Amino acid sequence: MADNLSDTLKKLKITAVDKTEDSLEGCLDCLLQALAQNNTETSEKIQASGILQLFASLLTPQSSCKAKVANIIAEVAKNEFMRIPCVDAGLISPLVQLLNSKDQEVLLQTGRALGNICYDSHEGRSAVDQAGGAQIVIDHLRSLCSITDPANEKLLTVFCGMLMNYSNENESSKEQFASTNIAEELVKLFKKQIEHDKREMIFEVLAPLAENDAIKLQLVEAGLVECLLEIVQQKVDSDKEDDITELKTGSDLMVLLLLGDESMQKLFEGGKGSVFQRVLSWIPSNNHQLQLAGALAIANFARNDANCIHMVDNGIVEKLMDLLDRHVEDGNVTVQHAALSALRNLAIPVINKAKMLSAGVTEAVLKFLKSEMPPVQFKLLGTLRMLIDAQAEAAEQLGKNVKLVERLVEWCEAKDHAGVMGESNRLLSALIRHSKSKDVIKTIVQSGGIKHLVTMATSEHVIMQNEALVALALIAALELGTAEKDLESAKLVQILHRLLADERSAPEIKYNSMVLICALMGSECLHKEVQDLAFLDVVSKLRSHENKSVAQQASLTEQRLTVES
């Protein structure tokens, strides 16, 4: 076979130049046969022989063997290592020209070749882009919409595949498509399809395109949402595998469309939109996929204050709490996560917090304290932190809840899950900052939480450092006696010295560190540590700091240190 292949390639080089029809066809058939037997090895030999460069001349509209050559290119481009050589051999432009052919077989093989060259290849995509290939394919899809010839089915598959490979992970292609009416054509095409496989195939083209916000809006305007809602209605009670897949794909795509601000707002229609109402009806359904999509959709609608306020006033919180209730024991983790995400977003506007607290959201959320799933833990913490923001009474109530505080302290050590660890620290600090309660501080001291707040003051995130320092200053002001042992063993004074001496510390960090130093002077053991560490040198340097508040606080702190020494 190998010798035969080498002979064929030599022969092909000669016949490709003088275009002897019969022997040329024979050589191409041999190549296709060799590729069918061992694609990778044959492709390597084709590349080594330099024959790729000659293919461009065989792809002209006049050439009688153009379909076969396109087929060979489609086969070799199944190998990743052959895609750039195909581009370098100048094959893209002649292939794109062949998309104007009227011959079904030529179109089919050309579509395959271009689709395979674009697969996972940036070079392939940009060459097709420059040659204008995508626009021609869109025009084909438009005409395929109107003809229902069985031969067209194959073409539809190939062109959809090509578009998918072309637009996947390709930002510029999505920009380019946004300026065509591809969205409208695909939605028309989608509406026509009855078979599951064809719908699924168009879904696969729509999903990467729908990542672009302009295309999201076009798809909404072209009526895709109504199609998706219809699919959901048809498939919701079916247990056939195809229907379950289609329900999932359809509802996922629906949620994706809501990720765009304009498309989301258009579908919300001030909370009166029929789409919004339909999505609401998914939450109480018995189908997990729909419950999930419904909760994710609400989380996406809850991206601005006006929407959040409207939804809370119209009873959405109760629907989400009922949903969570159904998933407390052995619940579906993705549904729990989505429902908590929605509640967290709804709790952002100040006006919603008290309403959600009195509706019993904290109690509903606390049922998931025993969850061992980090994504659920993360959202639970975020929801509670949003709810108690500037709500002193709620913060005090939660901060005295020993079970909660102990769990937070445990999660502050979740080294494998930085998100959970960060949120636990932030919630511990928030309980103190918003309650300003001695009882809360005592509960946190008894549960071993102090060392975590001290560590949090060294976080790489300024916002977290600051939250920690403010909480520690409140501890020092309200319950220094109870906390001094823990503050000492956590080396707080040394950390403050480091923060003040470090030129990279933000002004607010320096300011709050000095406030905290002054508050610690009331403790004998901590006072002694401050004296031993020569704080005066560091603080006096800060009197000339460019930030006025820092400079002022440095003068006050210096006086305090001088008086107390």
Alpha-carbon 558 to chain mean position: 49
What pLDDT is recorded for position 69? 92
Is residue 264 within 8 A of residue 216, CB to CB? The reply is: no
* Global confidence as pTM: 0.80
Q: With left for phi above 0 and alpha for psi between -120 and 50, is residue 270 left, alpha or beta?
A: left
Distance CA 197, CA 506 (A): 57
What pLDDT is recorded for position 192? 80
Each of the 565 residues of the chain gets a pLDDT tens digit; together they read 445 777 777 777 776 666 556 678 888 888 889 899 999 898 998 888 888 888 888 888 888 889 999 999 999 999 999 999 999 999 999 999 998 888 889 988 999 999 899 888 888 888 888 888 877 877 777 777 665 666 677 887 888 888 888 777 668 666 767 777 778 888 888 888 777 787 888 888 888 888 888 888 888 888 888 888 888 888 888 889 888 888 888 888 888 888 888 889 988 888 888 888 888 999 999 889 899 999 999 999 999 999 999 999 999 999 999 999 999 887 889 999 999 999 999 999 999 999 999 999 999 999 999 999 999 999 999 999 999 998 999 999 999 999 999 999 999 988 889 899 999 999 999 999 999 999 999 999 999 999 999 999 999 999 999 999 999 999 999 999 999 999 999 999 999 999 999 888 999 999 999 999 999 988 888 888 888 888 888 898 899 899 999 999 999 999 988 876 6
The secondary structure element, H or E, covering residue 388 is: helix 374-388
Q: Each residue of 336-353: b (16+ CB within 10 Å) or e?
A: bbbbbbbbbbbbebeebb
Q: Which tokens is 466 given?
A: 């600051």
Q: Which residues contact 437 (CB under 8 A, 6 or more apart)?
A: 392, 395, 396, 399, 400
Give me the sign of the Cα torsion angle 211, 215, 220, 224. negative
Q: At which residue do the structure tokens 């060799």 appear?
A: 34
DSSP 146-212: H---HHHHHHHHHHHHHHHHHHTT-HHHHHHHHTTTHHHHHHHHHHH--SHHHHHHHHHHHHHHTTS
Type of residue found at 432: I
Is residue 298 within 8 A of residue 284, CB to CB? The reply is: no
Q: Each residue of 490-527: b (16+ CB within 10 Å) or e?
A: bebbebbbbbbeeeebebbbbbbbbbbbbbbbebeebb
Is residue 96 within 8 A of residue 128, CB to CB? The reply is: yes
